[in-house]
C-alpha cells in the first residue's frame, strides 16, 4: 500500500479506485463449508467404504446420538463462524458452546461407563485398536473443512480473531468427524463416546493456535 502523507490524499486515491464490490454473505460461507464437508464425506467413503449398518438399523443408539450431536454442533458452529466475517458489536450467540458442552457429556459418560464395568473394561476402552485410525481420519477430514473455513474468513473481516478460531475448530472438528464417522462400523458407547469426540477437541485446540495468524487482517 502506498504511504500517503495526509488523509485527503488517501481519500482521493481510494475514491479514484472505488469499484462495485461483491457483498460477503454468510450464506456463501455456509455453502462453502458444507461443500467441503460433503467432499470430505465422499473421500471417506471412497477410502473406508460406506457402513451400510447406518441405514439397516444395525447402528446403536449411541452411534446415532453421537453423530446427531456432531451434526448439530457442526451446524451451530458453522452458522456462528460464517457470520463472524461481518464486523458487529454487541451480544453474540453462545449456541456452539452449549453444543460443545453437550457433546462433552459423551466422553465423560464413556469413561464412567468403562470405569464402572467389571474386569479390565477401562483398559480395553482406552486401548481401542482403531482409535488412532478414527482420530487421524477424522482430523484429516476436519483439515479439509478447516481449510474451507480459513479461506472464507480471509475473505471477510473477522474482528474477534480468537472467537472465530475457536468456532472454526469446533465446526471443522465436528463436521470432519461426522464425515468420517459414517464409514466407521464400530458403534459401542466407549468407542464413539471417546474416539469420535476426541478429534473435535483436538481440532478446536489446534485451530485456536494455528488459525489466528492466517486470518488476521
Partner 1 sequence: MTATQNGDKAAGNVLLSEVGLWLERYFRRRVPPHSIDDLVQDVLIAFYTKRGTWDSTRPFLPWLAAIARYRWVDHLRKVYKHDSKELMEDDAAEDSAEEVVLARVSLDRLFGQLPDKQSKVIEMVKIDGLSIREAAEKTGQSESLVKVNIHRGLKKLASLVEKAD
Q: Which residues bind partner 1 (CB under 8 A)?
A: 1, 4, 6-7, 10-12, 14-16, 18-24, 85-91, 156-157, 159-160, 162, 216-217
Phi-psi region of 151 (alpha: psi -120 to 50; beta: other; left: phi over 0): alpha
Residue linked to cell 473435535:
200
Of 73 and 81, nearer to partner 1 (C-beta) is 81
Q: Give Cβ neighbours of residue 26 (< 8 Å, ≥ 6 apart).
A: 79, 82, 83, 85, 86
Minimal distance, residue 25 CB to partner 1, in Å: 8
Minimal distance, residue 84 CB to partner 1, in Å: 10
Minimal distance, residue 213 CB to partner 1, in Å: 12
Minimal distance, residue 161 CB to partner 1, in Å: 8
DSSP class of 19: -
Of 112 and 157, nearer to partner 1 (C-beta) is 157
C-alpha cell at position 5: 502523507
Q: Quote the Cα angle for 145-150-151, to 5°.
A: 100
Of 21 and 55, nearer to partner 1 (C-beta) is 21
Amino acid at each position: 500500500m502506498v504511504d500517503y502523507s495526509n488523509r485527503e490524499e488517501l481519500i482521493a486515491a481510494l475514491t479514484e479506485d472505488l469499484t462495485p464490490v461483491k457483498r460477503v454473505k454468510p450464506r456463501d460461507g455456509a455453502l462453502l463449508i458444507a461443500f467441503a464437508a460433503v467432499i470430505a464425506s465422499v473421500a471417506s467413503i471412497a477410502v473406508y467404504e460406506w457402513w451400510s449398518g447406518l441405514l439397516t438399523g444395525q447402528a446403536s443408539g449411541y452411534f446415532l446420538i453421537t453423530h446427531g450431536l456432531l451434526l448439530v454442533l457442526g451446524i451451530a458452529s458453522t452458522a456462528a463462524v460464517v457470520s463472524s466475517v461481518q464486523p458487529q458489536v454487541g451480544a453474540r450467540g453462545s449456541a456452539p458452546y452449549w453444543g460443545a458442552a453437550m457433546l462433552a457429556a459423551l466422553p465423560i459418560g464413556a469413561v464412567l461407563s468403562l470405569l464402572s464395568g467389571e474386569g479390565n473394561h477401562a483398559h480395553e476402552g482406552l486401548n481401542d485398536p482403531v482409535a488412532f485410525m478414527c482420530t487421524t481420519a477424522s482430523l484429516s477430514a476436519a483439515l479439509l473443512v478447516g481449510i474451507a473455513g480459513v479461506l472464507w474468513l480471509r475473505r471477510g473481516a473477522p474482528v474477534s480473531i480468537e472467537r472465530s478460531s475457536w468456532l472454526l475448530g469446533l465446526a471443522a472438528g465436528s463436521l470432519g468427524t461426522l464425515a468420517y464417522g459414517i464409514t466407521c462400523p464400530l458403534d459401542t458407547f466407549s468407542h464413539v463416546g471417546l474416539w469420535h469426540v476426541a478429534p473435535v477437541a483436538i481440532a478446536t485446540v489446534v485451530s485456536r493456535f494455528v488459525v489466528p495468524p492466517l486470518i488476521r487482517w
